Amino acid sequence: MWEIWICACVGLFGLIVAGFLALHVMRKNPGSPDMIHISDAVHEGAMAFLKREYAVVIIFIVCIFVVLLLGLRAEGTKFAAATAFAYLVGAGGSLLAGLFGLKISTRANTRTAEAAKSGTNEALLVAFPGGAVMGLTVVGIGLFGLSGLLLVYFGLASSLEVSLKAARVIGAISGFSMGASSVALFARVGGGIYTKAADVGADLVGKVEAGIPEDDPRNPATIADNVGDNVGDVAGMGADLYESYVGSLISGLVIAVATLSPGLKMKGAILCLLLAALGVVSSVVGISFVRGRSAQTALRNGTIGSAMIFSGAAFLCTYFWYGHLYPFIAVFSGITTGLIIGFVAEYYTTGRVVHRIAESSTTGVATNIIEGISVGMMSVVIPLIVIGVTVLISYYSAGYFGIALAGIGMLSIAGITISVDAYGPIADNAGGIAQMADLPSRVRTITDNLDAAGNTTAAIAKGFAIGSAALTALALFFAYTQTVERLSGSPLIINLMAARTMAGMVIGGMIPFIFASTTMRAVGRTAFRVVEEVRRQFREIEGLMEGRAKAEYARCVDITTKGALREMIAPGLLAVLLPLFVGAFLGPEALAGALAGSVVVGVPLAIFMANSGGAWDNAKKYIEAGNLGGKGSESHKASVVGDTVGDPFKDTAAPSMNILIKLMAVVALVFAPIILILNKWMGIVR
């Protein structure tokens, strides 16, 4: 058990480092009163969104808490209480991480702008630590919470027989993962709708109708736009990866206890936590590498450095502590997969491919759209082959446990990948503040450079997010099947040739399309409300366009907040209720089919939409850099349309797939006992 204590301490260590980084950021000079004022507006907007979001989330959490408490009674009151409590801790951890990360990111923006006056490295040393607060908080809370809860539960269950104890404790712990998923659903989907609705709304009236530049203080939606970057790409992304992180660890624990030989059960479970601890340490080391003149090289060094350090440490740990090398193969295949998916995303959203899309803009919008969709669809090929191969390698090296280990391996360095991702919006915001506060153009150049570096490296991080969601969903899927076996006491075979499995797969394969459709339309509807509000302000506030009066930023923030939260309830409920419904009415084979169908459809759809969006975005930037006619040309106009279509693709629909496929699997895992009872009650026997 001492190893779990160590893991808890490492989790705490991550949190302490995050605290120091936060202090480091907060001690920096926040700049002129003007800058502070803008930053405050963004900060308040983000907090207002969080407050509303959390109010909705907490109602949701209370409902699920009650359902778990009552629904799992048949498994024993203690088990039900333990699961429900783990659920609260998992959800609470995500809420705290989001709050803390967002508080710092919305403070780091103006400080980055101020530091940019002194140079690139100085600015990087504010922006990146600002993002790293989110990164280390996520992994710190995840590891500390999970290890701590395990220690507590093992202590409470000390009276139980050894073999039973592990299964019961870890069964209850899976509630933790459900908690992470509950928050991620709202944070990622709501945040994704928020960020693009504000962005599209601000652009449509500001750039297109009024002809004022981006981030112009006269645009009433400009603060909402900057808030959106934070709630989408910092809080939403963090909650997404927290869910993956926790989900992969818990599926590892469940599968280890269920499938490994008796002597290895606990050792395998602890290995998962130790690997995560090594990952936290590697991430901290990698974070310290991020400095130097070129931001892009620094970020890349940090990421790849962490991956290499972790690989070495994981090798030593599995060989010497665990005593076998085969789990390392699975772990290593996972981390390699993450990197490959990231590099493929980079390939399809930069360079030659993007130039081809830009060239297709010269013959009009239609060819730009077709080319972008075609590129995105092609970009799914290598990632899916790699995921398929990783499933084979990790399974043949360590069974189902290997598949969980691949997920854990990929997510081990989440500490740094989240940091890189969260750094992006800080640099972006810093640029916005520089623009709004009229700082010298030299400052804006530096923040633009930082932002561009973030965009490129974020492609890799996005690959990690999707790849890890895929592996986590698969691992949770296997954890679910193991749990059904344990609960029903008989081996479960999901025969693909059974009609129920096939029907479940077809139905599960439809869900990602519903999610993509509703989230995209939600962006459109909310953006439309923003547009109307901005038009109203332009019309009714006298002197706004001349800079004599101030825009009412808070109104736009408020409208976007309400819209985003309202629009995400329907798809969210669907993702929770569908597995329950399919499981209860059609039985576990159909549910397994539905989960498999959602992954097989959801993963390529997410990769396609993310990469199409990224490629359109960069094609527009390529033309704006002066190529193929440059700004204002017909090809530029065509590329702007592509970018606008791509925005909800890459920042709303695609990331919401990550949540969807994990959430469905977690619901199946946690509610498995309830579903089995309903099956018996309705006469569906396997």
Site for its own copies in 631-650 (CB under 8 A): 641, 644-645, 648
Question: Measured between alpha carbons, how far is 153 from 172 in angstroms, rounded to an integer?
Answer: 9
Question: Measured between alpha carbons, how far is 450 from 663 in angstroms, rounded to an integer?
Answer: 34
Shortest distance in whole angstroms from residue 366 CB to its own copies: 4
Q: Which is nearer to its own copies, 322 or 477 (CB)?
A: 477
Q: Which is nearer to its own copies, 171 or 571 (CB)?
A: 571
Shortest distance in whole angstroms from residue 579 CB to its own copies: 15
Kindly tell me which residue out of 8, 411, 458, 592 binds its own copies, with binding defined by CB under 8 A.
Answer: 592
Shortest distance in whole angstroms from residue 6 CB to its own copies: 32
Shortest distance in whole angstroms from residue 605 CB to its own copies: 9
Shortest distance in whole angstroms from residue 274 CB to its own copies: 24
x-or-dash pattern for its own copies, window 304-343, by CB under 8 A?
A: ----------------------------------------
Find the helix packing angle between 237-259 and 120-156, rounded to 10°: 40
Question: In terms of DSSP H, where are the helices of 157-262?
Answer: 162-184, 191-203, 222-230, 237-259
Question: Measured between alpha carbons, how far is 667 from 573 in angstroms, rounded to an integer?
Answer: 12
Shortest distance in whole angstroms from residue 448 CB to its own copies: 24
Kindly tell me which residue out of 59, 213, 513, 549 binds its own copies, with binding defined by CB under 8 A.
Answer: 513
Q: Which is nearer to its own copies, 339 or 511 (CB)?
A: 511
Using CA atoms in the order 634, 636, 637, 643, what is the torsion angle rounded to 10 degrees? 150
Residue 498's region, left for phi above 0, alpha for psi from -120 to 50, else beta, is beta
| Burial profile 638-656: b = 16 or more Cβ within 10 angstroms, e = fewer | bbbbbbbbbbbbbbbbbbb
Residue 491's region, left for phi above 0, alpha for psi from -120 to 50, else beta, is beta
Kindly tell me which residue out of 109, 181, 472, 518 binds its own copies, with binding defined by CB under 8 A.
Answer: 518
Q: Which is nearer to its own copies, 77 or 363 (CB)?
A: 363
- The C-alpha angle 199, 202, 204, rounded to 5 degrees, equals 105
Q: Binding to its own copies by residue 504, rule CB under 8 A?
A: yes
Using CA atoms in the order 606, 611, 614, 618, what is the torsion angle rounded to 10 degrees? -170
Q: Which is nearer to its own copies, 239 or 592 (CB)?
A: 592
Shortest distance in whole angstroms from residue 262 CB to its own copies: 22
Q: Which is nearer to its own copies, 394 or 429 (CB)?
A: 394
Shortest distance in whole angstroms from residue 80 CB to its own copies: 28
Q: Which is nearer to its own copies, 91 or 578 (CB)?
A: 578
Q: Which of residues 527-566 bind its own copies (CB under 8 A)?
A: 528
- The C-alpha angle 575, 581, 583, rounded to 5 degrees, equals 105
Q: Which of residues 385-404 bind its own copies (CB under 8 A)?
A: 385, 387-389, 391-392, 394-396, 400, 403
What single-letter amino acid sits at 260? Answer: L
Q: Which of residues 342-381 bind its own copies (CB under 8 A)?
A: 360, 363-367, 369-371, 373-375, 377-378, 380-381
Question: Measured between alpha carbons, how far is 288 from 271 in angstroms, rounded to an integer?
Answer: 26
Q: Which is nearer to its own copies, 59 or 506 (CB)?
A: 506
Helix/strand/coil for 491 = coil
Q: Which is nearer to its own copies, 125 or 580 (CB)?
A: 580
Shortest distance in whole angstroms from residue 54 CB to its own copies: 29
Question: Measured between alpha carbons, how far is 484 from 490 in angstroms, rounded to an integer?
Answer: 9
Give the gyration radius of the chain's Cα atoms. Answer: 24
Shortest distance in whole angstroms from residue 134 CB to its own copies: 30
Q: Binding to its own copies by residue 507, rule CB under 8 A?
A: yes
| Burial profile 61-84: b = 16 or more Cβ within 10 angstroms, e = fewer | beebbebbbebbeebeeebbebbb
Q: Which is nearer to its own copies, 63 or 493 (CB)?
A: 493
Q: Binding to its own copies by residue 619, rule CB under 8 A?
A: no
Shortest distance in whole angstroms from residue 205 CB to its own copies: 11
Cβ atoms of residues 86 and 11 within 8 Å: no
Question: Measured between alpha carbons, how far is 241 from 304 in angstroms, rounded to an integer?
Answer: 18
| Residue 274: partners with Cβ closer than 8 Å, 6 or more residues away | 3, 6, 7, 317, 321
Q: Which is nearer to its own copies, 276 or 595 (CB)?
A: 595
Cβ atoms of residues 275 and 402 within 8 Å: no
Kindly tell me which residue out of 47, 600, 677, 678 binds its own copies, with binding defined by CB under 8 A.
Answer: 600
Q: Which is nearer to its own copies, 380 or 565 (CB)?
A: 380
Shortest distance in whole angstroms from residue 667 CB to its own copies: 18
Q: Which is nearer to its own copies, 527 or 556 (CB)?
A: 527
Question: Measured between alpha carbons, how far is 565 from 496 in angstroms, rounded to an integer?
Answer: 38
Determine the longest span between alpha carbons in the chain, in angstroms.
77
Q: Which of residues 435-474 bind its own copies (CB under 8 A)?
A: 474
Question: Measured between alpha carbons, how far is 431 from 482 in angstroms, rounded to an integer?
Answer: 50
Q: Dihedral of CA 26/199/527/464: which sign?
A: negative
Shortest distance in whole angstroms from residue 482 CB to its own copies: 9
Q: Which of residues 169-228 bind its own copies (CB under 8 A)?
A: 204, 208
Of 20, 2, 7, 150, nearest to 90 (Cα)?
150
Question: Measured between alpha carbons, how far is 598 from 575 in angstroms, rounded to an integer?
Answer: 10
Q: Which of residues 572-591 bind its own copies (CB under 8 A)?
A: 586
Q: Which is nearer to its own copies, 244 or 482 (CB)?
A: 482
Using CA atoms in the order 641, 645, 650, 654, what is the torsion angle rounded to 10 degrees? -170
The stretch among 38-46, 103-111, 121-129, 382-390 that binds its own copies (CB under 8 A) is 382-390
Q: Which is nearer to its own copies, 250 or 386 (CB)?
A: 386
Kindly tell me which residue out of 409, 467, 597, 613 binds its own copies, with binding defined by CB under 8 A.
Answer: 597
Shortest distance in whole angstroms from residue 370 CB to its own copies: 6
Q: Which is nearer to its own copies, 230 or 259 (CB)?
A: 259
Task: Please tell me the count of residues contacting its own copies according to CB under 8 A.
Answer: 76
Shortest distance in whole angstroms from residue 261 CB to its own copies: 19
